[in-house]
Amino acid sequence: METSPLGRVLVVDDDPTVAEVVAGYLDRAGYDVDRAADGPAALDRADAQGPDLVVLDLMLPGMDGLEVCRRLRERGPVPVIMLTARGDEDERILGLEVGADDYVTKPFSPRELVLRVESVLRRSRTAAVPKPTGPLRAGALSVDPAARRATKEGAELALTIREFDLLTFFLRHPGRAFAREELMREVWGWDFGDLSTVTVHVRRLRGKIEDDPATPRLIQTVWGVGYRLDPDPRAASGAEEGTAEGRTGSTIAGDSAIRGDRGDRGDRGDRGDRGDRGDRGDRGGRTVPAAPPSPAGQTHLTTPADHAAPPTPAPHSSQAGRRA
């Protein structure tokens, strides 16, 4: 039997109505479609037919979709799209973490599902024929796009298709921040979709490449933007420490200028004491305005006494004598 050039899709769902509708839309779109109603049957069909993609229901009797996805991943890098219930966010995230490439929530549009299938297959085939390039490196990481191989300190990393594509994309654009929408478009090939897909894949990738995923050094979160890969985490760490030391030194110098080199008030003006006082205002204190310099070139600090009314002069001694 001749295989469709678009590929073979295995639909796994215990609901015969859903399976029939999905299979019908995929068939009309030009795919060869196979069906299975439970986990063991799906694994047997996958071994026998070698599908290009699996549409997998999460809630299956006996062996659930998560376990089926794990076993499929153990056998090879076949793309998986999961079908999940509308409110099961935790289950969707767990499905992505075990290696699913995408998910569609029920009830769903069969046309949207066909578009997702096309997108995932297009990305997986593009990844299978990578652009000619040498190994990409960052710190202890090394990625060979042609061989689809990633290592850390010489040990091979077990990455899913999407994790590998995401890491390769970051390594090809070091030091640049990307929004999640950009990553979804460039890595997943989608112009729509749930952005938590990107978040979950970044978190899972960090768990495999970072020394401490809780304090990542390679893939940095850029607040309000998205994510950035720092090619040399040691340099990034040193820069952060240097910035912190600079802030500490600046604070000490500012405190010294404000506190009391009061014996040399002219130097205070040269050192920018007024700027230090402005910084104090930014840190939560009041901004203290400085008085204009005196004719001697020294800075005159205004005090409450300077603004008080002048004292009433005492009567002259000669006048007091005449009155007596």
Same structural domain for residues 44 and 122? yes
**Number of independent structural domains in the chain:** 2
The verdict on pTM exceeding 0.75 is no
The residue among 128, 147, 175 that closes a domain is 128
203 and 102 belong to one structural domain? no
What's the CATH number where 222 sits? 1.10.10.10
Task: Please give the C-alpha separations between residue 10 and each of 27, 46, 54, 55, 189, in angstroms, as whole numbers.
Answer: 11, 8, 5, 6, 22
**Same-domain pairing of 121 and 200:** no
Task: Name the token pair of 92.
Answer: 């969707």
Q: Is residue 275 part of a domain?
A: no
Q: Same domain, yes or no, for 111 and 164? A: no
Which of 231, 255, 272 is the C-terminal boundary of a domain? 231
Residue 42 belongs to domain spanning: 8-128
In a domain, 298, yes or no: no
How does residue 73 score in pLDDT terms, banded at 50, 70 and 90? confident
Domain final position from 176, 202, 231: 231
Secondary structure (H, E, C), 256-292: HHHHCHHHHHHHHHHCCHHHHHHHHHHCCCCCCCCCC
Average per-residue pLDDT for the chain: 73
* Residue 205 counted as domain residue: yes
Confirm whether 177 is domain-assigned: yes
Q: What CATH number does the domain containing 45 carry?
A: 3.40.50.2300
Residues 175 and 108 in one domain: no
- Rounded to 5°, angle at Cα 117 from 111 and 123: 140
Asked if residue 242 belongs to a domain, the reply is: no
Give a yes or no: residue 239 inside a domain: no
Q: Are residues 147 and 86 in the same domain?
A: no
Mean pLDDT for 49-58 is: 91
Cα–Cα distance measured from residue 276 to residue 257, given in angstroms and rounded to the nearest whole number: 8
**Interval 226-275: pLDDT, tens:** 999 998 755 444 444 444 444 444 343 344 333 333 333 333 334 333 33
Answer whether 161's CB lies under 8 Å from 78's CB. no
Lowest mean pLDDT segment, chosen from 9-13, 16-20, 117-121, 175-179: 117-121
Clarify whether residues 144 and 120 are in a common domain. Answer: no
Q: Are 89 and 82 in contact (CB under 8 A)?
A: no
Percent of the residues in the chain that have a pLDDT greater than 70, as a whole number: 64
Does 104 or 94 have the greater pLDDT score? 104
**φ/ψ bin of 145: left (φ > 0), alpha (ψ from -120 to 50), beta (otherwise):** alpha
Edge-to-edge strand order for the sheet containing 32-36?
A: 32-36, 8-12, 53-57, 80-85, 102-106
7: left (phi over 0), alpha (psi -120 to 50) or beta: left
How is residue 22 written in tokens?
A: 């999905």
What are all long-range contacts of 98-106, with beta carbons under 8 Å and residues at least 24 apart? Answer: 98/66, 98/69, 98/70, 98/73, 99/69, 99/70, 99/72, 99/73, 99/160, 100/56, 100/69, 101/160, 101/161, 101/162, 102/188, 102/193, 102/197, 103/194, 103/197, 106/18
Considering the domain architecture, whether residues 92 and 197 belong to the same structural domain is answered as: no
Q: What is the pLDDT of residue 217?
A: 92
Rounded distance between C-alpha atoms, residue 306 and residue 291, angstroms: 11
**How many residues does this entry show for the chain?**
324
Same domain for 110 and 180? no
124 shares a domain with 152: no
